[in-house]
Chain A
């Protein structure tokens, strides 16, 4: 199994969710995140005083899938989150040793 983590622009979240649902992914976790990459934040002005805001708001999407589905899920996230502008985010995958469904105690791919 793979844990796929995607950091994307908040307003692309709905597109990513829809794309994953179409692929049959049944669950995901979303957290609000902030950070920066090449986008480097932005400037705000309050009463003439400029503030450099380094950390840009993003959403972090996490989903665990079977190994065979991993590439398709990554591709779907990238397609849905893509705008072509700087700050579109990153997607990465890590191997997952085990998964347990808390309610039933099922383990491994059955728990997904």
Chain B
């Protein structure tokens, strides 16, 4: 009886995790809108498509092998999991992990892998060959995301259990991996045509705000769901998520007002996301005051970090590095400062008498994960670029990927714009209509 109780599904925990999983999945369409609004009209559909197609690609790869490699028992000395559950073998409705069905746990984790892939697209906006992205995502998911997820969250994953670092909801596998991978890919592809010369204004800021709102909404599932139960820790993570997003928003706006003279909507959306990124690893280990400080630090620092690309000449188009890598590093490191025992059940940060021990562990984890993700992604990117090519044709990039890759335009710009000729709508699809250009 007592042994059985440990492996029994808790209905409350399961109900919450079902909802949380749906919330996290919604973040990827939210991210698509967040990114889509920031690019120019000629490539907004391509931006949305790269995120949407990531949902499908990562799902297939995850069910085929990714879940087993990430969350299976250690193989090769803990570098990766086994393939015992490839194709979800041996897992049925009765399988239990913790207090929830294993299939639900696997789906929850899948939504994290999806958004991490989608996050990378922000670094390569407007210029990536779509076919190359379709090949890149499955390979990258298996070689970059899955190993890191195994080290951090896998059974006996060495980063949490042996190194003793803390990462509640994915500062390492999601934020730092996406940021470091984005940096690698934007270096492989090179800058957009006209980078630093042409005005590349966001074409739809209300879309960016809507996307940021959906991200924030979904982030409650991301962070509070990572408690893997409907409990007090989930509630604390939930509150910390709201708190850090708020101070991130305020911090970014404060810098803008002082530096640029205007508080902007893009700054508000970016600041909220920066705060949310930073609280992702730390939401389960810091107090409410700590969360407010983590969000503020991310909002302020990231508002400067997004300018580095212009000085160092890497075209991280939509600031995956400036927001997700930098914000992820801030949040992961600050655990070493603000961790409190009542949240962690042991380790304490510098401010609470824990000394530098935890900060050192956090730093080690950050360096290992960032270097691994950057290195392997760079390798995959170069290989694809050499073989099938990762950069879109120059002409396609000038015209816009919406028309050249997808044969669509996002907006009807009136009678003289890209609006489809009226007669085209009544032609059978077999009769191809050449786009006006």
Contact = CB atoms under 8 A, between A and B. Distances in A.
Interface string B394-436: 0000000000000000000000000000000000000000000
A47 B306 contact: yes
A48 B201 contact: no
Contacts of B256: 45, 48
B259 A48 contact: yes
A51 B199 contact: yes
B306 A51 contact: no
Interface in A12-58: 44-53
* Interface SS of A by simple majority: strand
B413 to A, nearest CB: 11
Nearest to B262: A45
B73 to A, nearest CB: 44
Contacts of A52: 199
Contacts of B259: 48
Contacts of B319: 47
B330 to A, nearest CB: 17
A49 B270 CA distance: 14
Contacts of A45: 256, 260, 262, 264
A50 B307 CA distance: 11
B156 interface: no
B266 interface: yes
B111 interface: no
A46 B264 contact: yes
Interface residues on B, range: 10 to 19
Interface in B229-259: 256, 259
B267 interface: yes
Contacts of A46: 201-202, 264, 266
Nearest to B309: A49
Interface residues of A, number: 10
B303 interface: yes
Contacts of B264: 45-46
A49 B310 CA distance: 9
Contact of B199 (A47, A48, A53): A53
Nearest to A48: B307
Contacts of A48: 256, 259-260, 303-304, 306-307
A48 B267 CA distance: 9
Nearest to B199: A51
A57 to B, nearest CB: 14
Which of A44, A45, A48, A52 lies at the interface centre, i.e. has the most chain B CB atoms within 10 A of its CB?
A48
Interface string B116-141: 00000000000000000000000000
A48 B303 CA distance: 8
Contacts of B201: 44, 46, 51
Nearest to A54: B199
A49 B307 contact: yes
A44 B304 CA distance: 17
Nearest to B269: A47
A31 to B, nearest CB: 10
Nearest to A53: B199
Chain A to chain B: the 9 pairs with minimum beta-carbon distance, closest first: A51-B199, A45-B260, A47-B306, A48-B307, A46-B266, A51-B201, A47-B266, A46-B202, A45-B262
11 contacts: A44-B201, A45-B260, A45-B262, A46-B266, A47-B267, A47-B303, A48-B259, A48-B304, A48-B306, A48-B307, A50-B260
Interface of A: 44-53
Given A49-B307, A49-B310, 4 more contacts: A45-B262, A46-B266, A48-B256, A51-B201
